[in-house]
Amino acid sequence: MVFKKFAIVLFAVAAAIALLGCGATSRPSHTGSAPTAASGDRADLQAIYSEIGRSGGRVFTLAPKDSVVRIYAFRAGRAARLGHNHILSAPQFTGFFHLPTNGAANGRFDLAFRLDQLEIDNPAYRSALGAAFSTVISPEDIEGTRDHLLGANCLQADRFPFVRIQSLQISGEAPKFAAKVQVEIHGQKREMWIALDVEGLPDRLSVSGSFVLRQTDFGVQPYSLLGGLLSVQDEVVLDFKLAGA
């Protein structure tokens, strides 16, 4: 009887691991068929910043090839040690920063990227982060993670593809700033303050920072299986290093 119960528990854990962002699904692999990162938002933001630029100052266009935008999702639950932490990165995005003639504290920035274009668990990124991200994730398991974190039961990337971050207020002096931003995820908007390190102005732009997002604040229920035996933590970390010219 004890052996039977133990076998049932092992089977449940194995099933959970296979399904919780670490197991293969029948979802087709993402290739070149996804819309470009510019779809919808780039033209809108270009028009906005073209208009803003007429007031003076300088508009910087953020360059994805010289920048990094990453989201870190963490394992949770009673069997968390059997799951994996994950890195979601945005190789494509649209972003602008306006530097007025009277200084960065009076400026504005916007950043937008698509959830359905995120890269999942790039091996080079994982290997650079030490033991907590040391597991090598197979291509099949990466597609499972994509489905579970971004699919119909979680962030619904097909329905709400964009993450948008817009500054509402900037305070401080170079190189340290505080920015009040509006974050849009899952069709819902929330405001928060974040810290920024800004260098290179006025000739170039280099800005870095990070902040914590709680999925439930945006109406998203973090992925969970078997009554929380394996799950994803509510809090995710978004960090960025952006370059513009």
The reported pTM is 0.81
Q: Would you say residue 163 lies in a domain?
A: yes
When divided into structural domains, the chain yields a total of: 1
Residue 122 reports pLDDT greater than 60: yes
Residue 31 reports pLDDT greater than 80: no
Residue 13 reports pLDDT greater than 90: no
> What was the pLDDT predicted at 131?
92
Q: Would you say residue 30 lies in a domain?
A: no
Query: pLDDT digits over 201-211, tens only?
Result: 999 999 999 99
Question: What's the rounded mean pLDDT across residues 116-134?
Answer: 93
Q: What rounded mean pLDDT belongs to the chain?
A: 84
Q: Would you say residue 58 lies in a domain?
A: yes
User: Among the listed ranges 18-32, 64-78, 186-200, which one has the minimum average pLDDT value?
Assistant: 18-32
Q: Cα–Cα distance between 68 and 18 in angstroms, integer?
A: 30
Strand positions, DSSP E, the chain: 58-61, 68-73, 75-76, 86-89, 94-99, 108-114, 119-120, 162-173, 176-185, 188-199, 205-214, 224-225, 230-232, 235-244
Q: Would you say residue 45 lies in a domain?
A: yes
CATH of the domain at 173: 2.40.128.110
Question: What's the rounded mean pLDDT across residues 238-245?
Answer: 97
Q: Would you say residue 208 lies in a domain?
A: yes
Q: Would you say residue 83 lies in a domain?
A: yes
Domain containing residue 112: 2-25+35-244
